[in-house]
Amino acid sequence: MRRGKQRLTPDVKNDWRKFRVDNSLAQPLYHQIFNHLRDRILDGTFERGSVFPSEHQLEQSLQVSRVTIRRALQELAARGLIQRQQGKVSTVTAYKPQTSVVATVEGLVENNRRMGLETSVQLLASEYVPASAEIAAKLQIKPAQKVLWTVRVRYLGEVPFSYAVTYIPQSVAKKIDVKRMSSKALLTLLEEAGFRIGRAQQLISAVPANREVAKSLHVEHNTALLLSERLVFDVHDKPVEFISVQYRPDVYHYGIDLVRTQSADGTVWASS
């Protein structure tokens, strides 16, 4: 059987063959290989629809065992980045999830609390930083005053679908256990710390994925993402959190049920 040709970009800096595993790292060898090949798929070195290197080619080029290569390929296939068929070549595929998360516009805060219970989170970064003028204005604090900045990626099963950047005033953040942000919804942590949530302002729009976000969400650079920006207030109308979340629209959706009703302006759509 004649096999298709593998198409690779000529850019030397993206030459996947030059990668070498680091035995001094705690990270398993197969995961190092997985990360490298995943990144080469996401940056376009391996084009969508192209034939992926065989186990033998990868073993020879990356100088690792066949068992290690096989485990890395299993991870790529599990995340929908390649399609493997017994006795046939593997191909680079566009991921099409089998499930999704649907949230309604009305229950914004409660939806996110429930989502925290049904999904898992990886905390990528957490540190105190000076607030920019924009963030300071939102949180009603002075510019350059310290805020807790965190970056989290949320998963539905093995699929990353949201990239969240959060800013919390230092006076609020010092009362919560930041490490628990990877196991509990931030809203729950705030309420457990004694904060009573009063209201939230939310803006929904769209934004192209930059390279960092695209890599974290396993999508291509400039993929259109759903953007949700939310400012949360306590019952005293004091801001306690500003969060900007980018969602993969193939996994996360906003939905609303509408009914036709009569009003002073005639028949209109209204939420049920």
Rounded mean pLDDT of 98-110?
49
Instruction: Give the span between the Cα atoms of 2 and 89, in whole angstroms.
Output: 11
Residue 5 inside a domain? The answer is no
pLDDT-based confidence at residue 262 (cuts at 50, 70, 90): confident
| Residue 159 shares a structural domain with residue 191 | yes
Instruction: Give me the helices (H) in 79-121, please.
Output: 108-118
| Residue 158 shares a structural domain with residue 245 | yes
| Residue 209 shares a structural domain with residue 133 | yes
Structural domains of the chain, count: 2
- CA angle, residues 169, 190, 153, in degrees to nearest 5: 80
| Residue 37 shares a structural domain with residue 123 | no
| Residue 63 shares a structural domain with residue 132 | no
Pair of tokens at residue 203: 């803006």
pLDDT above 90 as % of the chain = 38
| Residue 196 shares a structural domain with residue 111 | yes
| Residue 119 shares a structural domain with residue 190 | yes
Which residue, 245, 212, 249, 210, is CA-closest to 95? 249
The residue length of the chain stands at 272
Instruction: Give the span between the Cα atoms of 264 and 16, in whole angstroms.
Output: 65
Instruction: Give the span between the Cα atoms of 256 and 265, in whole angstroms.
Output: 22
Query: For residue 73, what are the domain limits?
Result: 12-92
Classify residue 5 by its DSSP letter: P
Phi-psi category of 160—alpha, beta or left, where left has phi over 0 and alpha has psi -120 to 50? Answer: beta
Quote the pLDDT of residue 12: 34
105 pLDDT above the threshold of 60 = no
pLDDT-based confidence at residue 1 (cuts at 50, 70, 90): very low
| Residue 146 shares a structural domain with residue 239 | yes
| Residue 178 shares a structural domain with residue 122 | yes
**Domain limit, last residue, from 92, 127, 144:** 92
Quote the pLDDT of residue 42: 77
Quote the pLDDT of residue 101: 58
| Residue 78 shares a structural domain with residue 154 | no
Quote the pLDDT of residue 41: 84
Residue 6 inside a domain? The answer is no
Question: Dihedral angle at the C-alpha atoms of 121, 127, 131, 134, nearest 10 degrees?
Answer: -20
Pair of tokens at residue 21: 């595993």
Rounded mean pLDDT of 150-175?
91
pLDDT above 70 as % of the chain = 84
DSSP 212-237: HHHHHHT--TT-EEEEEEEEEEETTS
8 pLDDT above the threshold of 70 = no
**Domain limit, last residue, from 40, 70, 92:** 92
Rounded mean pLDDT of 30-37?
89
Residue 23 inside a domain? The answer is yes
11 pLDDT above the threshold of 50 = no
**Average of per-residue pLDDT values in the chain:** 82
Rounded mean pLDDT of 147-155?
94
Phi-psi category of 53—alpha, beta or left, where left has phi over 0 and alpha has psi -120 to 50? Answer: beta
pLDDT-based confidence at residue 175 (cuts at 50, 70, 90): very high
Q: Looking at residue 192, which CATH number applies to its domain? A: 3.40.1410.10
How many other C-beta atoms lie within 10 A of the C-beta of residue 105? 12
Instruction: Give the span between the Cα atoms of 251 and 159, in whole angstroms.
Output: 9
181 pLDDT above the threshold of 70 = yes
Q: Which pTM was predicted?
A: 0.66
50-54, 92-96, 196-200, 266-270: range with lowest mean pLDDT: 92-96
SS3 call for 206: strand
> What pLDDT, in 10s, does the model give residues 109-134?
445 545 555 678 889 999 999 999 99
**Domain limit, last residue, from 72, 92, 112:** 92
Quote the pLDDT of residue 5: 38
Instruction: Give the span between the Cα atoms of 200 and 179, in whole angstroms.
Output: 24
| Residue 142 shares a structural domain with residue 179 | yes
Centroid of chain to Cα 271: 29
Residue 270 inside a domain? The answer is no
Pair of tokens at residue 161: 């679908």
